[in-house]
Amino acid sequence: MKTYAIILAGGSGIRFNSEIPKQFVKIAGKLIIEHTIEVFEKHPLINGIIIVINPEYYNRLEEIVQNNAYRKVKKILNGGENRQESSKIGVFACDEDVDKVLFHDAVRPFVSEGTITNIISLLDKYPAIDVAIPVSDTIIKINKEKFIEDIPDRKCIYRGQTPQGFSLKLIKKAHELALNDNYIRAPDDCSLILKYNLSKIFVIEDSEFNIKITYPLDIHIADKIFQVHKINLGSIAPSDVLESVKNKVIVIFGGNSGIGLEIFNLCRKMNADVYQFSRSNGVDIRNYSDVSEALTKVYKMHKKIDCIICSAGILKLNFIETADIDEIKDQIDVNFLGNILVAKASIPYLKQTKGHLLFFASSSYTRGRSGYTPYSASKAALVNFVQGLSDEVSQYSIKVNVVNPERTDTPLRRNNFGKEDKSILLSPQYVAYATMKILATDINGAVIEVRKQDEKEFGAQETFNK
């Protein structure tokens, strides 16, 4: 028997105060609805997807599905006048061999693979499942005159989310009863189960990240979640990394030391054609002609370039009041302007290969650090640039991302902060390996966190050191 996901995308954008429904707003290089569909498209236990859409946007969604070649999307259906009717349309469109269904809001793009897996597994034991999170505020119930009527114990109060999971037989019966009863006020599908007393509903506690994008402010929150929410690279096997890098042509700007040098060494071990350029061999990323000539040189040899990485960076500890003007300019020019120039020169080559463009941020990008504000500000600007550029070049299937490692044991750090306990620092070798994992994905427009706690995966990198 099969499990289907029914994605409810019938919103009109009224509360969002926008000319287009919120599911068609772009964040981190993709439309919100694309992020949502892809979670279910990639989940191994989901056999099919039905999308219920506002009829006004049927053609637009059909084009999105075709352009992305979503193979699990079985049907796109016009929705009804309310959520309950749209759910009913999805339920009755399921094929006979479907046993379990999950309902999910199109504007919840952060639902996790683990939550979906948990729901599907527990549906073998419980016929109805909801996901929710505990409230942190005190909840008050008021009467029509706006006086407090009750203050429930918040230990028992949760905020409902989606997906909601059901046996198809159960939820179909609920909608049949509602249809015969002319009942049209159900806020979600679990409420139908409760109304007709069809089953107990088991609740899974979910994540604060699984927000529903409803109001304009939520876009800014979602954008920040994409920045800080860790991209899961743990499931990518060493064999996948080898396959994605082998025989690729890779160019590194800033590859003569630190993380860049480790990436260079690792690429060579993985049988990639890799080239590094830096000021030590006559290429200054602040000079567009230097960057352009370097890429032209590589392209003439191989007739392609698959990935371009810019790890070049400089840091000078100093307070703005006493900092040398030239040092301030150098940090901005290398850490920000130079990266932009690398990006501009890279686009023609990566359009041809639908390749990857990778940059490096710093943990200081989220909040300016006293004593090295030009560096922190440049890294924050770089993150913003990557997010914007990823939108611009997504039409060419170019993937643009920024790697954000925690404190790493590099010459740049040692020169500025002196001797530190290496046990609290990331090794540049692990950061290099994590960076190579990105090439095995289609991630775009993301800030990819690399943390010390993740370095337990470093053993996998030894596969390439033998």
> Which sequence spans correspond to the domains of the chain?
2-228, 238-464
| CATH of the structural domain 238-464, one choice from 3.40.50.1370, 3.90.550.10, 3.40.50.720, 3.20.20.450 | 3.40.50.720
How many CA atoms lie within 13 Å of 10's alpha carbon, on the beta-carbon side?
A: 21
* Residue whose structure tokens are 């914007």: 388
Cα 120 from chain centre: 23
* Phi/psi at 375 (5° precision): -65, -50
Residue 426 contacts residue 408 (beta carbons within 8 Å):
yes
On the question of a common fold for 2-228 and 238-464, the answer reads no
Q: Mean of the per-residue pLDDT values for the chain?
A: 89
Averaged pLDDT for residues 285-292: 97
> Could you give the 3-state DSSP secondary structure of residue 309?
strand
Share of the chain above pLDDT 70, in %: 94
The b-or-e profile of 448-459 (16+ CB within 10 A means b, else e) is bbbebebbebee
Count of other CB atoms within 10 angstroms of residue 323: 17
**Higher-scoring residue by pLDDT: 132, 419:** 132
Pinpoint the alpha helices (H) of 198-337: 216-228, 238-245, 258-269, 288-302, 325-332
Q: What is the pLDDT of residue 12?
A: 62
User: Which band of pLDDT confidence, cut at 50, 70 and 90, is reported for residue 214?
Assistant: confident
Q: Is the pLDDT of residue 182 over 60?
A: yes
The closest of 231, 222, 227, 225 to 443, measured between CA atoms, is 231
Class of domain 2-228 as given by CATH: alpha beta
pLDDT digits over 4-23, tens only? 999 999 866 555 556 678 89
Q: What is the pLDDT of residue 13?
A: 57
> Could you give the 3-state DSSP secondary structure of residue 53?
strand
> Two tokens at 421?
């306990």
Averaged pLDDT for residues 278-286: 94
Rounded to two decimals, the pTM is 0.72
- Helix or strand run (H / E) with residue 142: strand 141-142
pLDDT digits over 246-260, tens only? 889 999 999 888 999
Q: Which residues have a Cβ under 8 Å from the Cβ of 238 and sit 6 or more positions away?
A: 460, 461, 463, 464
> Could you give the 3-state DSSP secondary structure of residue 108?
coil
> Two tokens at 404?
């954000």
Q: What is the pLDDT of residue 387?
A: 84
Q: What is the pLDDT of residue 325?
A: 94
Q: Is the pLDDT of residue 460 over 50?
A: no
* Residue whose structure tokens are 């016009």: 78
Q: What is the pLDDT of residue 466?
A: 47
| DSSP 8-state assignment for residue 13 | S
Residue 256 contacts residue 276 (beta carbons within 8 Å):
yes
pLDDT digits over 158-178, tens only? 999 999 999 999 999 999 999
Q: What is the pLDDT of residue 18?
A: 61
Q: What is the pLDDT of residue 198?
A: 97
Q: Which residues have a Cβ under 8 Å from the Cβ of 3 and sit 6 or more positions away?
A: 45, 46, 47, 98, 99, 100, 101, 102, 120
